Amino acid sequence: MASTSSLVQLDVLTAAFSVEEGIVHVLYACASQVGYSDVYGCDVLPLLCSKLADSSSDFWSALPLVQALLPALRPSGNGPDLVDDDFSQWKQPFVQHALSQIVATSSSSVYRLLLHCSAGHLSSFSPSHAKAACVLIDLCSGVLAPWMAQVVGKVDLVVELLEDLLGVIQGARYSLGRARAALKYIVLALSGHMDDIMAKYKEVKHQILFLMEILEPFLDPAVTPLKSMIAFGNVSPTLLEKQERTCAIALNVIRTAVRKPAVLPSLESEWRRGSVAPR
115-168: per-residue pLDDT in tens? 999 999 998 888 899 999 999 999 998 889 999 999 999 999 999 999 999 999
Same domain flag for 209 and 272? yes
Same domain flag for 131 and 173? no
Same domain flag for 32 and 123? yes
Is 16 a residue whose pLDDT tops 60? yes
- The answer to whether 47 and 102 have CB atoms below 8 angstroms apart is no
User: Structural domain of residue 13, as residue ranges?
Assistant: 1-141
245 within a domain of the structure (yes/no): yes
> For the ranges 1-5, 9-13, 62-66, 87-91, which has the lowest average pLDDT?
1-5
Q: How large is the C-alpha radius of gyration of the chain? A: 23
> Can you list the pairs that 85-91 forms with residues at least 24 positions away whose Cβ atoms lie under 8 Å?
86/32, 86/35, 87/28, 87/29, 87/31, 87/32, 88/32, 89/28, 89/32, 90/25, 90/28, 90/29, 90/31, 90/32, 91/32, 91/33
**Closest C-alpha to 112, from 152, 153, 70:** 152
178 within a domain of the structure (yes/no): yes
Q: How many domains is the chain built from?
A: 2
Same domain flag for 118 and 235? no
Q: For residues 11 and 208, which has the higher predicted lDDT (pLDDT)? A: 208
Residue 131 has a pLDDT of 92
30-72: per-residue pLDDT in tens? 888 765 444 444 444 466 667 666 655 677 888 899 999 999 9
Residue 226 has a pLDDT of 57
Same domain flag for 174 and 68? no
Residues 6+ apart with CB under 8 A from 263: 257
Same domain flag for 94 and 129? yes
Same domain flag for 119 and 177? no
Is 277 a residue whose pLDDT tops 60? no
Query: Which range is most confident: 105-119, 136-150, 235-249?
Result: 136-150
Taking the CA atoms of 272, 273, 275 and 279 in sequence, report the sign of the dihedral they define: positive
Q: For residues 166 and 107, which has the higher predicted lDDT (pLDDT)? A: 166
Same domain flag for 1 and 130? yes
- The answer to whether 86 and 75 have CB atoms below 8 angstroms apart is no
Residue 229 has a pLDDT of 44
Reported pTM: 0.80
The mean pLDDT of the chain is: 82
Same domain flag for 108 and 173? no
Same domain flag for 14 and 131? yes
Same domain flag for 72 and 201? no
- The answer to whether 137 and 105 have CB atoms below 8 angstroms apart is yes
